[in-house]
Structure 1
Amino acid sequence: MITIFCAFFSLLTCVSGVTVVTQSPLITVRKGEQAKLDCNLGTVTDKSARWYKQTPGGVPQYMLRFYHDWSSVEYGSGFSAPKFTSTHSSKSDYSLIINNVDVDDFAVYYCKTWDSSVLPLESETVESFCTSEDVTCITVVFGQGTKLNVIDFPLTPPVLTLLSPSTEALKESKATLVCLAEDISVALVHVTWSVNGRSVTDGVWSSPTEKQQDKTFKMSSYLTVESSDWMDNADFSCEVSVGSKFTKKSISVSQC
């Protein structure tokens, strides 16, 4: 038997018509509180939701899985009740509950499910297991992850600087805008770029946060666009959020 395996979070295999697993991008809670991380399995209603924890620089750890027909949660090594549990509000809506959160819970949490209704092609956030004998595939789909910040101090909005493309860069077909975020009070942030009020993800790359001597963090995010889009006087915006606090900056060629 030959088995084809797409590595964890790799781009080696994708699928056509695969369900989309949706998670909130960022949650910030105070130390000692309860964190509730939601996951929607899309069109999948007959499979369990499985959760993984990944600390910065670490490998994903299997935490637990839960199915709406089960009476109890199945746990991975090192995870147990009452600290960790899972609930559901429908056959496709699940939640990971972390009680009495501590700084060790600071991580990115990924939700995963199975979708057997599609054929293997190409996608992101997918593992695919197929046999050459019967061409039966199990498509494993991941959400994009929820960043969990744990704080014991008041949050403050980050300070942003939005830089336009350089004159030299505009001579090429592509141009890059830079969003510098400083005085960030937590290590995990959520960055959103928009053009004329519409959110964009193509051409976006964001660096990890970097801790400073004053214990704040800084990071950079980049948006690469067609030079003609910039010269057409479109409005470009960068927003960086940390929990309920955020800062948004906008720029266009007419402002430069």
Structure 2
Amino acid sequence: MIIQTEFVDIDTPTGVMRTYIYRPKAPGKYPAIIYYSEIFQQTDPIARSAAIMAGHGFVVLVPEVFHELNPLGTVLAYDDAGKDKGNADKFEKPLESHDSDTQAMLDFVDQQTYCTGKVGSMGVCIGGHLAYRAAVNPNILAASCLYATDIHSSTLPSQANNDSLTRTKDIKGELLMVWGKQDPHVPNEGRFLVHQNLIDSEVHFSWLEFNAAHAFMRDEGLDRYDPALALQVYQMSVELFNRTLKA
């Protein structure tokens, strides 16, 4: 499908959040996917990834995940300075603020004539965690969580008993969990912990582990990018959202 792009500035309890929208150009109503980025916010690889998903008949919203901590429109570079700033932001923003961001986007989607009202979430790296976290909201019907960091460690700031591991029991939608076995950010023990917690919480989920590094979906920086695996993961994500959001 041919797509169009725009951005909107959405009010949240913690400030204005710039959100980039990718959607089919053809008239009609489409389900929505909230696409959570890496710590670097909307880089070129994230924009291309969102466009791929939108081209399969979805309205894709890419929020600036650390909008409270940066000027609107901030994109961090894939270098040491960008990594340091993004990681600092990650550990400064509490999960409760991400929750209210998600609700603000759900409220926005509800008001758009081009949306059906059905919403899923997707994300990479910290965005994979935020897609998982978004699924705690009962209005998120499915989530594609790609090499999600910090779920296993419960190191992101939150109130007592409100970390994402503890809140897993509240997830009602279907999850797709995708991991790289050579990812140093989520060791074997961390993946095993998340897997067992999903089973104990009786969540409906699929689980895939590939021989791949962290950020193997990112089509910039060829030391990690695996195009064949990326294509496979896009296909699985599209299948998930077609089945859960378009039925």
Higher strand share: 1
Bigger relative contact order, structure 1 or 2 (CA pairs below 8 A, ≥6 apart): 1
Q: TM-score, normalised by structure 1?
A: 0.25
TM-score by length of 2: 0.26
Between Structure 1 and Structure 2, which shows a larger proportion of helix residues?
2
